[in-house]
Chain A
Amino acid sequence: MKALVAQKTALTGNYAVAYAVKMAKPHVIAAYPITPQTSIVEKLSEFVERGELNARFVNVESEFAAMSVVYGAAMAGARAFTATSSHGLLYMYEATWWTALSRAPVVMAVVTRTIGPPWNIHVEHNDILVLRDTGWLIAMAETVQEVLDLTIQAFRIAETAVLPTAVGLDGFILSHSTEPVELPPQELVDKFLPPRRPDVPLLLRPGEAVTFGNLPSDNRDHARHKIATVYTAQREAKKIVSQVDEEYGRLTGRRYGGLVEWYKAGDAKNVVVCMGAWCSDAKQAVESLRRRGISIGLMRVRFIRPFPEEEVAKLDQYERVVVYDRDITPLGGVLGTEIKALLSRARVVNIVAGIAGVDFDAQNFYETIQKALDGSYREVEFVV
C-alpha cells in the first residue's frame, strides 16, 4: 500500500478550493464567472477537461442557473459544487432558499466581495451573510490551508447535516494570495468522505412517484418542516461540525476548533471576536497588546451558521468584548448584533471596519482594540 504522504505545495485560496473539490470527487459542478471567484471554476474545468476529475462540468448562463443546476443535481443524488461572489450570490438568492428548505447538501465556495453600487471587487462580508437566515451552514476560513481543509470538511458536514454549506474565503486576501499548503493524500480524503447517499433527503428516480415541493395539505406540516430545517437541523449541525473537525484533525493533524477557535483567551480579561482572513492580523495585534501588558485574547468565528451560541455565551465572563464586522446593517455589524443578543450589551463594542475593501491591518487592529478598551468608542463604531 502506498504510504499516505501529504503533498506540500503553494496555492492561492481559489486553487485550494479547486484542489479540495477535486479530492471530494463531485458528480456535478456548475458555475458562472464572477471576480474574485472565477479562477476556482476555471481550475475545476481544467481538471475535468484533462480527465483528472470525473465530473460533469456545466457551463451556465447565470448564477441563478448555477444554483439551480446544483440543486437539481443534489436532489437527484449527486455530490454537487458551485462557487460565487457578491452579486452572483444575490442573483442566486431565491434558489439558495429553495436549496436549504429542500435539504439539498450542496457545497458552495463564496469568495467574499463588496456589494455595490458602486462596482467594487474588493473584500467585504455582507455577501455571504445574506445566507444567514436561509438554513445554509456558513463557514469562514482564515488561511489558504484552512480554505482547503474547510472545503473538504464542508462536503462531509453538508451531507451529514443534510444542509447546504457555504465556505467563505476573503476576496483577494485569500482567493488570490499564494500560501504554503499541505494537500492530504487522496486515500485519506476518500476515507474521510464516504460516497454521497442518493436517498437523502429523498430518492428522485424515474419510476419512483415521489413529489417534493407542491402545496402542503396542512400548513402546520410546512411550518414544522421549516422549523426542522432552519432551526433544529442547525442545532444538530453544531455537533456535526465539531465531530467532523475532530476526525479531520486525527487524520491530517490539522484541527481548527469546530465552530470557533479560541486564541490566548483562557487567561485574558478582554476578548476580540472576528471572522475571516483578517483574524490573522487581529491575532498579531493581540500578541503586541499582550506584550504591552494588556490582557486580551481572541475568539475566531469559524461558523456563523450554525451560530456558536454556547461559545458566545462564554464571552460574558470578559470585561470587554470587541467585535469586528466587515459588513454593515442598519444596526451595526451582523456579528456584533448577533453577539449582543446573547451578552450584556454594555460589554460589547462593535467595530465596523474594512467594508468596501478598505485596508485594515494588524496596526489598525492594535490601535482600535486599545480605543475600544479605553472607552473612547461608542457601542457601534465605524472605522474607515
Chain B
Amino acid sequence: MSFRIDQLPKKKYVVPGNAACAGCGMMIGWKILGMALGEEAVLTIPASCAAVVQGLSPKSGVAMPILNVPFASAAAVATGIAEAYRSLGVKGHAVVWAGDGGTSDIGFATLSGAAERNSNIIYIMYDNEAYMNTGIQRSSSTPLAAWTTTTPMGKRERKKDVALLMAMHGVPYVATASIAYPQDFYRKLKRAAEVEGFKFIHLHTPCPPGWRFDPAKTVEVARLAVETGVWILWEYDHGHFRLNPPSTTYADKAKRRPLIEYLKLQGRFAHVTEEQVKALEEDVEARWRSILALAKAFPQS
C-alpha cells in the first residue's frame, strides 16, 4: 500500500502559533499523525517537548483533543481512555504521543504494562534522542558517544532499542518510522488504526538545537540516519517481521552511505574520535545483525 503526498488529507491539525523550535522534527511527525488519524485520535501527552509546543492554554497550536498527563503515566491514562470508550461505545483511537524519555525511561513500566495486557492504544514514541524539553540531557535512547549536557564527554552506553523490546512483548503491531519518510509513517499509522490491541510506533525525529545542526537540515539529517543505516525501518505485524523500504536496500552494507556523513552534520558528535566512530560503526552493524536475524527468524509475511 502506498500513498502520494498530494493525496493526503488537507486539513491541518498542527496550526500556526505553536511554540516549537525552528525545524522541529517532532512537529513534522505530528502533522503526519493529523493526516492519518485526525478526527479519530484522542491524544495523551506526558511531560515532553510535545507538552510545551502545543502553545499556551486555553489555546492550542494543535487542533486535536489532548490530555496532558504526568510523565510516567501516558500509556496507562490512554488505556483508561480506551477502556472508557469501549464501555461507552465511543469510536476513536486512544493515542499516546510521547518522547524518548517518557517512553524508554520514566514511562517504561506503564508502557510495558499496557503492552503486556494488550491495551487497545496506539503508542507513538517520537525519538529525539535526549530530554530536549529540559535542555538536552541524556536519555536511554541517546546514541553512543553523543554529547548531551549530562554526558559532556559523550554517552558511554548504547541506545536502548525500545521498538525491539516492544516487539518482544509479542504485541500485535510494532514499527519504526522516520520523519524523512512521511508516506511510510502515514501507512504505518493507518495500519495501526486497523489493528485491535496494542500498537507501538518508534518515530525518529531529529532535533536541531539538541543535536546541534542547522534547522533547515532536519529532513536531511533524518534521511541520512536511514541511508547510513543508523536508523532501520521495519515493522512487526502479528508475528511477521519485515524490513521496509528504503531500509531494505541498506541491508547490504555496501549500499549504505558512510556513517561519518551523518555524524559530521551534528554538533553533538563534533568531538568524536576515530575510535568512537569505529565503535559507532560496530554498533550500527550489531543492530543490523539483530534485525536481519529477526527478519530471518520470524515469517516475512
Q: Do A and B bind each other?
A: yes
Contact A64 B73 (CB under 8 A): yes
- With a cutoff of 8 Å between Cβ atoms, the chain B residues found around residue A205 in the complex are 42, 65, 90, 92
- With a cutoff of 8 Å between Cβ atoms, the chain A residues found around residue B137 in the complex are none
- Give the docked Cα–Cα distance between A216 and B52 (Å): 10
- With a cutoff of 8 Å between Cβ atoms, the chain A residues found around residue B109 in the complex are 61-62, 64-65
Contact B65 A72 (CB under 8 A): no
- With a cutoff of 8 Å between Cβ atoms, the chain B residues found around residue A214 in the complex are 51-52, 54-57, 60, 66, 68
Most buried by A among B81, B83, B119: B83
Contact size class for A? 35 or more
Question: Does B117 count as interface, using CB distance less than 8 angstroms?
Answer: yes
- Give the docked Cα–Cα distance between A65 and B70 (Å): 11
Contact B83 A69 (CB under 8 A): yes
Contact A68 B41 (CB under 8 A): no
Question: Does B63 count as interface, using CB distance less than 8 angstroms?
Answer: yes
Given contacts A73-B83, A214-B56, A214-B66, contact A64 B93 (CB under 8 A): no
- Give the docked Cα–Cα distance between A206 and B81 (Å): 11
Question: Does A312 count as interface, using CB distance less than 8 angstroms?
Answer: no
In the complex, which residue of chain B has the Cβ closest to the Cβ of A62?
B109
- Give the docked Cα–Cα distance between A141 and B60 (Å): 44
Contact B80 A30 (CB under 8 A): yes
- With a cutoff of 8 Å between Cβ atoms, the chain A residues found around residue B91 in the complex are 206
User: Within A196-242, which residues are at the interface with B (CB < 8 Å)?
Assistant: 198, 204-217, 221
Question: Does B21 count as interface, using CB distance less than 8 angstroms?
Answer: no
Contact A27 B65 (CB under 8 A): no
Contact A76 B64 (CB under 8 A): no
- With a cutoff of 8 Å between Cβ atoms, the chain A residues found around residue B62 in the complex are 211
Distance in Å: Cβ of A69 to nearest Cβ of chain B: 4
- Give the docked Cα–Cα distance between A138 and B74 (Å): 26
In the complex, which residue of chain B has the Cβ closest to the Cβ of A94?
B70
- With a cutoff of 8 Å between Cβ atoms, the chain A residues found around residue B112 in the complex are 61
- With a cutoff of 8 Å between Cβ atoms, the chain A residues found around residue B117 in the complex are 58-60
- With a cutoff of 8 Å between Cβ atoms, the chain A residues found around residue B68 in the complex are 211-214
- Give the docked Cα–Cα distance between A44 and B52 (Å): 39
User: Within A69-100, which residues are at the interface with B (CB < 8 Å)?
Assistant: 69-78, 80, 94-95, 98
In the complex, which residue of chain A has the Cβ closest to the Cβ of B57?
A214
Contact B40 A206 (CB under 8 A): yes
Q: Mark B110-122, 1 if CB is under 8 A from A, else 0.
A: 1011001101000
Question: Does A259 count as interface, using CB distance less than 8 angstroms?
Answer: no
Contact B80 A206 (CB under 8 A): no
Q: Mark B78-118, 1 if CB is under 8 A from A, else 0.
A: 11111111111011111000000000000001101100110
Question: Does A193 count as interface, using CB distance less than 8 angstroms?
Answer: no
What 6 A-B pairs come out closest when comparing CB atoms? A72-B80, A213-B68, A206-B92, A61-B113, A68-B76, A217-B56
Q: Which residues of A contact B (CB under 8 A)?
A: 27-28, 30, 55-56, 58-62, 64-66, 68-78, 80, 94-95, 98, 198, 204-217, 221
Q: Which residues of B contact A (CB under 8 A)?
A: 39-42, 44, 51-52, 54-60, 62-70, 72-73, 75-88, 90-94, 109-110, 112-113, 116-117, 119
Apart from A28-B84, A211-B65, A214-B51, 12 more pairs, CB < 8 Å: A28-B87, A62-B113, A65-B110, A69-B77, A72-B79, A78-B84, A94-B72, A95-B73, A206-B65, A206-B92, A209-B63, A213-B51
21 pairs of residues in contact across A and B, judged by CB atoms under 8 Å: A30-B80, A58-B80, A58-B119, A61-B112, A64-B72, A64-B76, A68-B69, A70-B80, A73-B81, A74-B80, A77-B88, A78-B87, A78-B88, A94-B72, A98-B70, A204-B42, A205-B90, A214-B51, A214-B56, A215-B52, A215-B54
